[in-house]
Amino acid sequence: MPRGPYRRGVRFLLRRWPVVVRLAIWSVLETGQTFLTGYALARALDDGFLDGREAVGLGWLGAAALGVLVAAYGTGQVYRAVADLVEPLRDTLVRQVVGRGLREADGAAVSRLTQQVEIARDTFAGLVMVSRSFVFTVAGALVGLFSLDPRLLLVVGPPLVAGIALFVATLRPLARRQEEFLVADERLAGQLGLVCPGLGDVAAAGAEDDVADDLGRGVEREYATAGALARWGVLRTAALAVGGQLPLVLLLAAGPWLLDRGVSPGALVGALAYVTQALLPALHNLVHGLGASGSRLAIVLRRLTWDPPPEPEPEPECGDEADAHTPEADARTPALHVCGLTFAYGPHAEPVLRNLGLTLTRGEHLAVVGPSGIGKSTLAGIIAGLLVPDAGDVRVAGLPVRGAEAVGRRVLIPQEAYVFTGTLRDNLCYLRDPRTGPPGEDELLAAAEAVGLVPLVARLGGLDAPLVPAELSAGERQLIALTRAWLSPAPLALLDEATCHLDPVAEERAERAFAARPGGTLVVVAHRISSARRADRVLVMDGAHALCGRHDELLERSPLYRDLNGAGEWGEEGAASHPPLALRDPYRVDPVPRPGLPGDRGHVVAHRSVGQMEAVGDLGDRRTPGGE
């Protein structure tokens, strides 16, 4: 097992040596109480009750009771010292996990932060208490046995050592099983983190069975590792029986032999008290505490604190040369460059994106259109650095999309806008770089005017009015999020159906405001076809392939784009719903009701997995529109 966690653990304790010394001092009180448990009882019998001196016997019992009270006070101080060790460890681990998750977009960060950090915190506290208690309890008991009669050690010592040795022999295999369990848990958490946000894409690709099988194998792996871990509990029980129960049996069996050789009855009763009241409970706590929690702590700490070697900077691909970041080079560098992009939700799923290439110059306005579930939001998530592509290269302003320098050069506005409790000003300034200072009143009002937030500002009572997110409509929340993004320093704005709750006029105003930002580049996952008509270029995604071009070019080249334009404004009130085909039509494709009816999106729904898709406008003509 790697020594890294142990070395870090030693350094952690050495840096807090005053707390460790304080912990040891208070633990000495427990040693005294353990010693008195057997010794005072033996003296009470031999020198007191058996000798006819009840006062002496009661005095020794009183001394034992006083030792319990003193030890209780020491235990309370021990808990304070343990807290001074545990909480700094937890804070350190949280900082490392959060920093690593933000730096590397670690898919297992959620499992580490919500589960493994708490495992480390709780097991470390339990380990300190158990190991400390075992050491001082065994020391007090062995000193007491030797003080009563050294021959008692010959009966108690060998099985105690054998039990501890058996227990130590299980630690390494137990640690391996524990690591296998944690690896399986992380893999399953990573799989769920990929699949859950993309259920719509999974359904659109007809990959439900493959994804379910893949997740099922992950569950089976975690179940198998948990079973193997549980089976090692049998050896822990055996170690406890040998080291804790066997000395008790041997003392009872060897009682006559010990009495015949001069061991007093009080000494024998004291030895039984040491075994039953000190050694057996201490060993029980050690086996069940250190056996599972100790190995778990070692593995968790190694996984939480292991820093992987830094990945080399990706070399330029697909002819994209990395220019030095000079003003001249920045002016030539594309705002967004995508090359050979492929992405699938799972190793056996059909790719949602396949070999996609795209380049946007600075200041360009791109609209992304296509049927629901075709991968538009997936593309936005990859450009935003939220998803990791299976293949290909994505660069924002010439920088690797998942690099730290690219984070401040893009901003994503999702469909469900985030607004937090506070003032309107706080919400609007949330994405501003603190080094440049907060925007002034004029800048905030200018942004609100550009995006269309002024009526809401007036209704709320000004920029410093308090916000209650639950009292805002979905459209109002979107306007706030859009204005916040407009004020951000990021030159690349990604609108993933970020205006779906706005009316067409408000949507047009917001999009034109982003398109007019100085030096800004805009990518819009379109909610209405009018967004595509306003864009400089349009990316049409249809699953089999993607086309990118101007509006008039795509009307000639893409049957799907012609159908989307001929279907009217998606969600537009008063438009006709057509074609009037019945559900379960002979072509095995159902048209979803469009304008004026529930579920309006202009989509099509297949009864089953199909190799080709037809747009609504092509239903009934018995031909495939351009390979869609």
pLDDT band at 34 (very low <50, low <70, confident <90, very high): confident
Mark whether 461 and 500 lie in a shared domain. yes
Which of the two residues, 301 and 104, has the higher pLDDT score? 301
Asked if 229 contacts 221 with a C-beta cutoff of 8 angstroms, the reply is no
Asked if 461 contacts 401 with a C-beta cutoff of 8 angstroms, the reply is no
Res 305: pLDDT:
53
CATH at 37: 1.20.1560.10
Residue 121 has pLDDT above 80, yes or no: no
Residue 594 has pLDDT above 50, yes or no: no
pLDDT digits (tens, 9 = 90+) for 295-351: 556 555 655 554 443 333 343 445 444 343 444 445 578 889 888 888 888 777 778
**pTM of the predicted model, to two decimals?**
0.43
DSSP 3-state of 493: strand
CATH at 549: 3.40.50.300
Please give the residue range of the domain that contains residue 122.
4-170+232-305
Mark whether 349 and 273 lie in a shared domain. no
Give the bridge partners for 229, in sequence order.
Answer: none
For the chain, count helices (H), then strands (E). 26, 14
Mark whether 628 and 595 lie in a shared domain. yes
DSSP 3-state of 29: helix
Mark whether 372 and 271 lie in a shared domain. no
Mark whether 117 and 238 lie in a shared domain. yes
Mark whether 280 and 350 lie in a shared domain. no
Mark whether 17 and 119 lie in a shared domain. yes
188 within a domain of the structure (yes/no): no
402 within a domain of the structure (yes/no): yes
Mark whether 248 and 109 lie in a shared domain. yes
186 within a domain of the structure (yes/no): no
Count up the domains in the chain and report the number: 3
Mean pLDDT of 32-48: 83
Candidates 512, 510, 399, 535; CA nearest to 448 is: 510
Residue 231 has pLDDT above 50, yes or no: yes
Residue at 88: amino acid letter: P
181 within a domain of the structure (yes/no): no
- Alpha helices (H) along 149-264: 151-169, 171-195, 199-204, 208-231, 233-240, 246-253, 255-260
Q: How far apart are CA 464 and CA 29, in angstroms?
A: 60
Q: How far apart are CA 452 and CA 463, in angstroms?
A: 14
Question: Which residue carries 């790697």 as its tokens?
Answer: 2
pLDDT band at 122 (very low <50, low <70, confident <90, very high): low
Mark whether 381 and 292 lie in a shared domain. no
pLDDT digits (tens, 9 = 90+) for 126-176: 677 777 778 888 888 888 888 888 888 888 888 888 888 888 888 778 777
Residue 571 has pLDDT above 70, yes or no: no
Asked if 122 contacts 295 with a C-beta cutoff of 8 angstroms, the reply is no
178 within a domain of the structure (yes/no): no
Which of the two residues, 506 and 300, has the higher pLDDT score? 506
Mark whether 540 and 610 lie in a shared domain. no
Give the sign of the dihedral formed by CA 186, CA 192, CA 195, CA 196.
negative
Residue at 290: amino acid letter: L
pLDDT band at 76 (very low <50, low <70, confident <90, very high): confident
313 within a domain of the structure (yes/no): no
Q: How far apart are CA 99 and CA 93, in angstroms?
A: 10
Q: How many CA atoms lie within 13 A of 301 on its CB side?
A: 26
Mark whether 402 and 544 lie in a shared domain. yes
Mark whether 484 and 418 lie in a shared domain. yes
210 within a domain of the structure (yes/no): no
Q: How far apart are CA 495 and CA 584, in angstroms?
A: 35
321 within a domain of the structure (yes/no): no
pLDDT band at 497 (very low <50, low <70, confident <90, very high): confident
